[in-house]
Amino acid sequence: MDLLILIIGIIFLFLVIVKFKLNSFLSLLLISIFIGLALGMDIQKISDTITKGLGETLGGLAIILSIGSMLGKLMADSGAARKIAISVINSFGAQNIRWSVCIASFLVGFALFYEVGFILLIPIVFTIANELKINPLEAGIPMVAALSVTHGFLPPHPGPVMIADTLKADLGLTLFYGCIVATPVFIVAGPIFYSFVRNIKGREVTSFENQDLDNLPSFFTSVISALIPVILMLLATFLKFFSNESFHQNSIYKVIEFLGSPNIALLLAILVAIYILGLKRGRTMSQIGKSLEGGVKSIAMILLVIAGGGVLKQILIDSGLSSHISDFINKSSFSPLIAAWLIASLLRIALGSASVAAITTASIVLPLTTVSGVNLELMVLSIGAGSVILSLPNDPGFWMFKEFFNLSIKQTLLTWSLLETIIAVFGLIMVLILNLFV
């Protein structure tokens, strides 16, 4: 009966988001209350659970996501992200355009959220297509593949961060495993996949004006700005797992561990970026402040959706429903990694939003992680993979891809939707392979 209530709740969630177009945050709150009441929770307890779910979720994520969005906006406004893309593309040459766009987008995707990276790189894609007289999708598919993979697998992107926070997984180790999984996935879903859809061409190509390229920061400065948090987090993770216990008592290790914690790593990165991408290049603190504010504004609704997912998570925990689901999955023959991927996939297809699918799945499988002994970091990646599967017209990303590349709905399904499914399926395969060795 409890599982039936959850299924009905998810159906209602689908209806209010897709059919009635209600804001995702408000939808999650309403459905959380409905599930709590249906499960027999006390009204006062539901109120306390909402407060607890909101506070615990945002308390662990607000700093990471806010500073991450500030860093991405500063890189976009300063031209650093554009410099990385142009430099990598020029280095590989026209004959390797698919690979160069893919690598450039992957580097840019470390620091920029998907939507920001897409809007930033799309003019470059069409400029390349016009100059080389090629199908825009030849550069476009590798671009969105790389951006989507970083969005689904790598911190500090919202999905991996909020799943890791819910499951209490190590964020540095998630980043390390995520890089291992992401690399072959974006190659398969980008340059290789395009070979099978090269005959699909959109209608008339949208034209973009060439932006001024004379006053961009250097390539080294741009890359360092993007990768500082990645380098610090990976360094702390390597030292933690590849050094002995005696070294862990050393003051040097403690300093590196402190600097490599996600909050501190991102704080250092934004301070460095403010100087080398802002003050050093003649921008005033007022101008820099506007960029930082713009970054936070862009992440505001995402934070609220994550908070709503945190409420649902807490309702499932406090009502005892998560434990029932965990016992059910644990008694079945399913691998916890596959079970989590399937749940995330079904929610993604039904709801459209990868973020909502990810946080809801993390809430459902949370108790399973304590009884199954599954690797928490791989569980994060498995949920992340499932949360991007088969983007359909209920996903805003579907329409963004369709409209910019001037495709029909059928063409979008055969390119964008299939690309997302390849990322999800091959991502799971890579997670299962990695699970054999860790």
Specify the pLDDT at position 60.
65
pTM: 0.82
The confidence score (pLDDT) of residue 174 equals 94
Q: What is the pLDDT of residue 209?
A: 47
- Give mean pLDDT in consecutive 10-residue pieces for the chain, a chain of 438 residues: 80 81 86 90 90 82 84 87 83 82 87 79 81 86 94 86 89 93 94 92 55 74 88 88 78 89 90 94 92 85 81 83 72 84 89 81 82 89 94 82 87 94 97 93
pLDDT of residue 202: 67
349 neighbors 390 (Cβ within 8 angstroms): yes
pLDDT of residue 212: 56
The whole-number pLDDT of residue 292 equals: 92
